[in-house]
Structure 1
């Protein structure tokens, strides 16, 4: 299996395939949790606001580790609130 790259995710993002790009960024962050390009992209694509910096960190960790449909739905509900 080929390793996902920020470039690959950017291509999906440019094509308007936000969910696919987020999934790639998620895989990148699982391998390299400090990848600033992927962190910034997740924040941008997810609509995370800088005024919620502490909460953003918690939700970014949650995003990286979510596995079930319920967790995905919880993340979506959180996005609607901010």
Structure 2
């Protein structure tokens, strides 16, 4: 069964953020350009407490990225977190 953004949103609404994150990650594995999943991962995990230094570094990287390779690297970072 293919995961959907709607499914992830249901998990989010139930307070199951880790489960929702896994669904968003699976969505990105199948569609690396899914804007809804990318935004949700940023929202749910990109700014988690305890990762402040890494978040700041990646925020700076995000602001300055220009090449397709840099964009791909940023997407990989989003998936890993």
Q: Same fold (TM over 0.5)?
A: yes
Task: Give the distance between the partners of 1:16 and 1:3, measured in 2 at CA.
Answer: 21
Question: Normalising to structure 1: TM-score of the pair?
Answer: 0.64
* Gaps in structure 2 of 5+ consecutive residues: 48-54, 64-70
Question: Normalising to structure 2: TM-score of the pair?
Answer: 0.65
Equivalences, count = 65
Q: In structure 2, what is the equivalent of residue 14 of structure 1?
A: 13
Give per-residue Cα distances to partners, 1:55-75, cap 9 Å, x unaligned: 5964541342x4xxxxxxxx4
Say what the alpha-carbon RMSD is for the aligned residues.
Answer: 2.8
Structure 1 outlier segments of 4+, above 6 Å = none
Task: Give the distance between the partners of 2:75 and 2:59, measured in 1 at CA.
Answer: 12
Decide which structure has the larger Cα Rg and report it: 2
